[in-house]
């Protein structure tokens, strides 16, 4: 029994590296060699590539073998054809004109919707008179699809550019105003009562307690509004636009350039991803007091 208690423990061969006096495993040494910031970013870069790679491989196999089942892939352009069309499109100056036109419309319409929607949502959330007056009208107009307003915008606005911006504003406005109202309603009353106990005035309470406390819910609505705005601006460009990425996609379809249609779809997705990322980054910066914002 004494020999067993005093006998030194010998680690398995995979635990200790040969000739390593520190006793660290190979995984530990690799972890120490890679900076922590790089180690945190590797999953964020690698993991999104997995579904994209799987999608591209499946797309290539289905189009290469002309699979016809429930879906018909014999007429779909292959990834190689789309890549060639994308390279040709990127080398032309009109492509960037279309991207810039769509971005200008999105930023203008979404910006107006954010300002007006947040202001009106705060008013309805804080005033019972405004709630009784405006909330029924908001709920009455909200179910109307923004794209259904295209014929009216052609009649009302002197140019198609103004009409497309209005449609974008209309689409993004309701997610913002409704999320702002719900954020105001769901905020704990104890925050307001505590601030009033410490002598906070009405304006100080609004700008230092109410609005900051509602910002997480407001930015959730802004994120949804950005996606809806992209859907509607592209649809409006297809119907009444003269330039823009939606107009280009529709023109490619009219010319039976299906690879060009996919290029337009990819461009729309890339622009949507970039603007959604921008909204999320601004939201994390504004809501840095939240625990999840530090991740």
The pLDDT value recorded for residue 49 is 87
Nearest C-alpha neighbor of 287 from the set 223, 200, 218: 218
The pLDDT value recorded for residue 119 is 94
Mean pLDDT rounded to a whole number for the chain: 83
Lowest mean pLDDT among 59-63, 65-69, 117-121: 65-69
Helices in the chain by DSSP H: which ranges? 2-6, 26-33, 36-64, 79-90, 93-126, 128-141, 150-156, 160-186, 189-197, 202-205, 211-240, 245-254, 258-286
In this prediction, residues 273-292 reach a mean pLDDT of: 84
- Confidence tier at 143 by pLDDT (50, 70, 90): very high
Lowest mean pLDDT among 31-40, 106-115, 145-154, 167-176: 31-40
Find residue 72's DSSP bridge partners: 68
pLDDT tens per residue, range 119-132 = 999 999 888 999 99
For Cα atoms 252, 255, 261, give the angle at the middle one, nearest 5 degrees. Answer: 25
Q: Is the distance from CB of 149 to CB of 170 less than 8 angstroms?
A: yes
pLDDT tens per residue, range 239-271 = 877 788 999 999 998 888 999 999 999 999 999
Q: How many CB atoms lie within 10 A of CB 34?
A: 11
């Amino acid at each position: 029994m004494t020999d067993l208690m005093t006998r030194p423990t010998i680690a398995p061969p995979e635990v200790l590296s040969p000739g390593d006096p520190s006793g660290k495993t190979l995984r530990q040494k690799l972890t120490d060699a890679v900076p922590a910031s790089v180690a945190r970013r590797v999953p964020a870069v690698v993991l999104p590539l997995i579904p994209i790679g799987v999608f591209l491989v499946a797309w290539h196999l289905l189009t290469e073998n002309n699979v016809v089942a429930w879906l018909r892939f014999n007429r779909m352009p292959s990834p190689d054809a789309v890549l060639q069309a994308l390279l040709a499109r990127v080398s032309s100056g009109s492509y960037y004109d279309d991207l810039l036109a769509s971005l200008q419309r999105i930023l203008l319409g979404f910006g107006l919707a954010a300002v007006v929607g947040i202001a009106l949502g705060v008013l309805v959330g804080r005033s019972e008179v405004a709630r009784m007056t405006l909330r029924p009208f908001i709920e009455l107009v909200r179910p109307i699809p923004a794209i259904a307003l295209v014929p009216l915008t052609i009649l009302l606005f002197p140019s198609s550019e103004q009409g497309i911006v209005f449609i974008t504003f209309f689409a993004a406005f309701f997610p913002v105003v409704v999320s702002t109202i719900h954020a105001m309603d769901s905020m704990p009353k104890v925050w307001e009562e505590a601030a009033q106990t410490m002598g906070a005035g009405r304006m100080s309470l609004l700008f230092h307690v109410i609005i900051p406390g509602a910002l997480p819910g407001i930015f959730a609505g802004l994120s949804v509004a950005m996606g809806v705005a992209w859907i509607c601006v592209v649809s409006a460009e297809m119907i009444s636009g003269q330039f823009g990425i939606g107009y280009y996609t529709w023109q490619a379809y009219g010319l039976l350039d299906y690879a060009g249609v996919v290029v337009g779809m990819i461009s729309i997705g890339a622009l949507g991803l970039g603007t959604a990322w921008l909204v999320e980054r601004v939201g994390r910066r504004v809501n840095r007091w939240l625990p999840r914002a530090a991740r």
